[in-house]
Structure 1
Amino acid sequence: MFSHIILGARDLAALAAFYDPVLAALGLQRMPDEDDGGPAGVGWQLPGQRLPQFFVQLPFNGQPASAGNGTQVSFLAASREQVDAAWAAALAAGGVDEGAPGVRPRYAADYYGAYCRDPEGNKLCVVCWG
């Protein structure tokens, strides 16, 4: 399990607007804005849970953010309907299709996932098992 994931942002407002509906479809909510002394960022988490957390943030080193080749963030969904809803929200919010929702038997017989890229090119997966 992870504590938190941070993706670098070039346009923080645009990425926050993209992730709000995508993560809401998975039951995550935006965290209150806090000034922790670092660069500006926006975070989401499940209601009533401290961890895990997901953030988009301006890079600490001040350099432009870039998508990682071979990097993917995968979000666990509770159902196939959540996978479908998150993927649809991603495309409606400006994401790019990288694989429509469906069973991926090459991974596992019960693997149901969908893939997209956010507006800055980060690859995302939404998956449920079972």
Structure 2
Amino acid sequence: MFSHVMIGANDIEAMLAFYDRVLETLGLTRDSAQPPDSPAGFIWLRGKARWPQFALRHPVNGHRATVGNGVQISFAASSPQHVIAAWTAALENGGSDEGAPGFRPRYSSDFFAAYCRDPEGNKLCFVHAHEFSVN
């Protein structure tokens, strides 16, 4: 299990708008307690749970953020409808399609997922499977 996932962003305002809209469909909200200049960046949480976290910020080294080849960030969804809502919100807010919502039986018989890229090209997956516990 991971504690947090952080991605670099070049256009912070555009990426905040994208992730606020997309992640709210999955029950995640941005932590308003974090000041904008926090070294932790901007953080999204599920409810009052501290972990796991999703975060973004300008890269610490001052270089432009780039996409990782072979990297995919996957978000657990509580239902297939939440997968569809997240993928739809992503496409409506500057994301690009990488695979429409549907079952992916090659992974498991109950693996329902959708894939997209965020506005800066990071690959995302929204997935529901019966054994996930998403509250």
Structure 1 partner of 2:133: none
Structure 1 partner of 2:82: 82
* Normalised TM-score (structure 1): 0.95
Structure 1 partner of 2:123: 123
Measure the CA separation in 2 of the matches of 1:112 and 1:121: 22
Measure the CA separation in 1 of the matches of 2:83 and 2:44: 17
Counterpart residue type for residue 59 of structure 1: P
Superposed CA deviations along residues 108-129 of structure 1, whole A, max 9, x for unmatched, are 1110000000000000000000
Q: Which runs of 4+ in 1 moved over 4 A?
A: none
Measure the CA separation in 2 of the matches of 1:98 and 1:117: 7
* Normalised TM-score (structure 2): 0.91
Counterpart residue type for residue 58 of structure 2: L
Identity across the alignment (%): 55
Which residues of structure 1 form unaligned runs of 5+? Answer: none
Structure 1 partner of 2:60: 60
SS in 1 for 2:112: strand
Offset of 1:47 from its aligned partner? Answer: 1.1
Offset of 1:42 from its aligned partner? Answer: 1.5
Offset of 1:16 from its aligned partner? Answer: 0.5
**Could you say what the CA RMSD is over the residues aligned between the two structures, in angstroms?**
1.1
SS in 2 for 1:99: strand
Offset of 1:48 from its aligned partner? Answer: 1.0
